[in-house]
Structure 1
């Protein structure tokens, strides 16, 4: 009973905020998702990442090991996903990127914080940073068939990660007044991302549900297995292990749908994957947390 209550306390705030965004749209209220997303990704999330890295008490060598584990995890998932796509005869431009990348920002970051505390947040932002860099380079290449190396240099999340890593490495700290201001801005990120997730899901039109169910289930099982295996291989501690498995197992991100729409892949199929995998996560993530805690 205590474990069930603990898991409920962790996941309830996440899904309540997402449900708030979902209900906001269903009640017909205005929500300018482009503005809120830009505010979050340009200002709030970079501040959250920078301050989390700068203030973390985690050992530098431990974070370096976790970074390598995260990159290795995505590498293995990409290889397995490519094999699944080719075996099933699916369109690579449509299905491969959603199979690889999960919602490590809107969903994974708050869960990492609520489940594992500040240490979990520190590890969580590392996975988010890796996901963001790979999504804006390799991910765009998979969907568009062309590189986007220059685009990644324009992303504030990338620079916040590099700057935060530099401050961590050098043991630097910003002045207290600036740290407090950055903290305050960063605190906007998690509620904004969760409400926006609910808004985005509410506006999606699901398509090709039967394929979406099968592919989403395959993604979940592959990502859990890979995260678990990589965590054991790198001998991660309990918190790092839990965050890695949790982050890699998050559902398809809404950004996958936006990329498919922008680069004329099958956006309807990706929308179906976003909705189905997100609904699956309502059950799968609490069960996963029950095992990881």
Structure 2
């Protein structure tokens, strides 16, 4: 029991304390979360993914295998929730709102610090790769899911072209393969914006928690939350084992797959008006419950 409490206090409590600052900010001021999400969506997030690719993608990391398994895990979780939603007769908008917080996992503002606390710098390298993959998925597949709540497939696909995140990824990939680098002042400015992304995400998470309506569809919330916190790491365990993944890379991948829903889901749901109240409620519940699933998961992975 002491080990579990120690894991919680050292690895999870700092994350919730940072989010608490956003909660108090939303409670005591009239600052709206959608304004903060705009800054994240258009400035900090593109800078973050660009910087992560530049810093952590190296030839030594099994990038292709990690990408395939991570993407497959996210898609299988999404498919599971989608099929359950359709079977229960939910509307397209409601089904997509259930899928978003189940598919888009919080490997960034929660997963990266937790991975660093649990597995150190070596684990952080693998955790960052998972984060890069999930961020790219969030702003590609996630955008499609969010916009499908009210738009057709063609409109959803065209919306990808407007994403600042896409151009951050493309620029980073081009520079990775060509060996080019940004001019020093530009590079430092991008680093500053990237460093601001995760703290801002935590503040936004707290702001969204303060506004969340937990009286949303309880059954739908249970389905989405269970898929994220329970099915996610189990699917990752199965797929990574089938792929022959072992050791630290597998441990980090499973840990990241057990994270609650990402704030990105709320950002996208707000941007595309796909029942953002429900998405926020689902993320809130998953985040609040995550210590009860992540703490034993960390204990099992490090035992």
- Equivalence for 1:133: 140
Query: What is the deviation of 1:281?
Result: 1.5
State whether residues 104 and 264 of structure 2, in contact with CA within 8 Å, keep that contact through their aligned partners in structure 1.
Answer: no
Query: What is the deviation of 1:243?
Result: 3.9
Distance verdict in 2 for CA 1:34–1:218, change over 3 Å: closer
| TM-score scaled by length of structure 1 | 0.84
Query: What is the deviation of 1:213?
Result: 5.1
Q: Which runs of 5+ in 2 are unaligned?
A: none
- Equivalence for 2:131: 124
- Equivalence for 1:8: 9
Structure 1 residue 274 and structure 2 residue 279: aligned? no
**What does the per-residue CA deviation read over 1:202-248, in whole Å, with 9 as the maximum and x for residues that have no partner?**
01222236325531224422212112122223333544334433343
Query: What is the deviation of 1:109?
Result: 4.2
- Equivalence for 1:103: 106
- 1:248-267 superposed matches below 5 A: 248-254=257-263, 256=265
Q: Which runs of 5+ in 1 are unaligned?
A: none
**What does the per-residue CA deviation read over 1:172-230, in whole Å, with 9 as the maximum and x for residues that have no partner?**
43344443332222111111100110001101222236325531224422212112122
Q: Which shows bigger deviation, 39-48 or 237-246?
A: 237-246
CA distance in 1: counterparts of 2:239 and 2:34, whole angstroms:
36
CA distance in 2: counterparts of 1:25 and 1:263, whole angstroms:
22
Q: Counterpart of 2:214 in 1: which secondary structure?
A: coil
Distance verdict in 2 for CA 1:292–1:88, change over 3 Å: farther
- 1:1-293 superposed matches below 5 A: 5-26=6-27, 28-56=28-56, 58-59=58-59, 62-96=62-96, 97-98=99-100, 99-116=102-119, 117=121, 118-119=124-125, 120-141=127-148, 143-147=149-153, 148-208=156-216, 210-212=218-220, 214-215=222-223, 216-254=225-263, 256=265, 268-293=277-302
**What does the per-residue CA deviation read over 1:136-170, in whole Å, with 9 as the maximum and x for residues that have no partner?**
124422x2251212221221212212222232334
Q: Which shows bigger deviation, 146-155 or 230-239?
A: 230-239
CA distance in 2: counterparts of 1:193 and 1:261, whole angstroms:
15
Distance verdict in 2 for CA 1:179–1:264, change over 3 Å: closer
RMSD, aligned CA:
2.9
Q: Which shows bigger deviation, 16-25 or 78-87?
A: 78-87
Q: Which shows bigger deviation, 198-207 or 78-87?
A: 78-87
Distance verdict in 2 for CA 1:90–1:250, change over 3 Å: farther
| TM-score scaled by length of structure 2 | 0.81
CA distance in 2: counterparts of 1:169 and 1:259, whole angstroms:
30
State whether residues 113 and 121 of structure 1, in contact with CA within 8 Å, keep that contact through their aligned partners in structure 2.
Answer: no
